[in-house]
Structure 1
Amino acid sequence: MVGVTEEGAITFVSDIWGGAISDRQILEKFGILDLFSEGMFVLADRGFDVSDLLENKGVHLNIPPFKKSAPQLTDEEVAKTRSIANRRIVVEDIIGLVKVNKILVQKMPQHL
């Protein structure tokens, strides 16, 4: 799990768990919730529904709309999905750079 600000700064990187732990458990056990403050927005994938944990802190969860029984998303849902997708590209690019350049393989001194 990787936390990234809108400006592209990496704020959190979890240990690698290989499916042995859920995203929800990582949020609950490793203090990530403590990094959020009231009024913040969290962008996540559809399957990452931890809105109950975030609502308790006054944090808003943005996940792409689900396609309901209707054959298509509404215009509003399409616009929201595009907006979220544009921001996700930034996060995915940063994760790719971290992997390719082996950034964060070792602990980074605070002064950096």
Structure 2
Amino acid sequence: MPDIGEILAHMPAEAQHRFESAGEFVKRLAHRVQKWRERLAEDEQPVILSILANGSAIEVRSVGEDGHSGVVIEGVLDGASCMFVSHQASLQILCYTQKVEPEQRRKIGFHVGGEEIEV
């Protein structure tokens, strides 16, 4: 059996903590939403809301990492475009489905390490 302590000792510190990074959070969220979308009907789409501390909700258009622990949300709040930057530990996300005409389905962008994942 491999010695986990020895493996971690030879792993760069960044790699040891990558699992807890904002980038990993965004990648996992993109993967979950993608798998969820595959199971939806043609007239449904996923919607992601970012819930703010005051109870307001941003309808998310894109999510990206901002450094190791920060997350940047771009979306719509009360009908206006907005950008919200938060530590990943403070971020609250709600996902639900919305009925739409199939030709009106839109993608949500996820940005990690200079790469864009559209879901």
Pick the structure with greater CA Rg. 2
TM-score by length of 1: 0.23
Q: Per residue, is there more helix in 1 or in 2?
A: 1
- Determine which structure has greater relative contact order: mean sequence separation of CA pairs < 8 Å that are 6+ residues apart, divided by chain length: 2
TM-score by length of 2: 0.22
